[in-house]
Structure 1
Amino acid sequence: MIRETKKFLLPADIPEILRKYGDLFCNYTQLAPKDSIYGNYKRTNHKLSVLFPLIKHPVHGKTGLHAIEKYEDGFVIEYHYQWKIIIPKKGKLYNHISAWENEPHDESWTPREYKIKSEPHHHHHVPGDKGKRKENWDILTLDDAFSFVAHYIRSGEEYQP
């Protein structure tokens, strides 16, 4: 397996995200403010955890982009960006639309179908099946993930891998 060199990723620039993608955000009464960008989202020197509720998609419904970043020495060492159905809650498996992560899956016991060339960066690309993954060379930041999701939200197109 080819392992890529370490990338130095900077933490998400939340004010820039709000400026670029603010037209996509929506506040749902069924969602507690503390659970989204509208409340006091969690950001420390070590971690960011925030949900961005998005305007209703004609096919996928009420979705959100959930971002988790873990930091060390001012850089992102681990990220998880998940586009998911947030209302109604469907459980971890059925709410999944698409996700991008850099959690390594290259241990010797890892099943072959989970080992990919862009390790540790990978894309969970199949809606409703987070177990499937493929290479991810392009979406490494929250801005990248928003750029991908924004296309589908703004156009109303259904996401199909």
Structure 2
Amino acid sequence: MTLQYATGDATRPDASGNKVISHVCNDRGGWGRGFVVAVSRRWPQPEREYRTWSRTAGFRLGAVQLVQVEPDTWVANMVAQRGYRTSSNPVPLRYDALEECLAVLAAQAAELDASVHMPRIGSGLAGGTWDQITPVIDNTLTARGIATTVYDLP
């Protein structure tokens, strides 16, 4: 399976069957900039559950929280960003945490028989480079037969 690209809104995946929309979150419990704004506009549950989760012992880099938002759609809150992007932390994305998250997501998507949909995770506010992120997606999702689509806004 190969990584697919589409023009559109990742919160409105163009696919039938079960779908998981994945995105990168920080390890501080902050929510309010980037792709999560679009997620929150569409569904309140992922933000609410993420904020609650951020105050628990299981909340850590590499962890994934699946939140069902529709009968056939889940949002995967993936903790792969250490803090926020600052001059002293120019790349808060942690590639090892992203790989751990995507491996967990692959197992969850396989169990749900779901395709995975995402924006260019980790390359916006998290400061990662898409050239380094793509192989992680390929090794964890597409190599395991999980149909994965990356969306770019028009």
* Band of TM-score, shorter chain: 0.3 to 0.5
**Could you state the TM-score of these two structures normalised by the residue count of structure 2?**
0.36
- Larger helix proportion of the pair: 2
Who wins on radius of gyration, i.e. which is larger? 1
**Could you state the TM-score of these two structures normalised by the residue count of structure 1?**
0.35
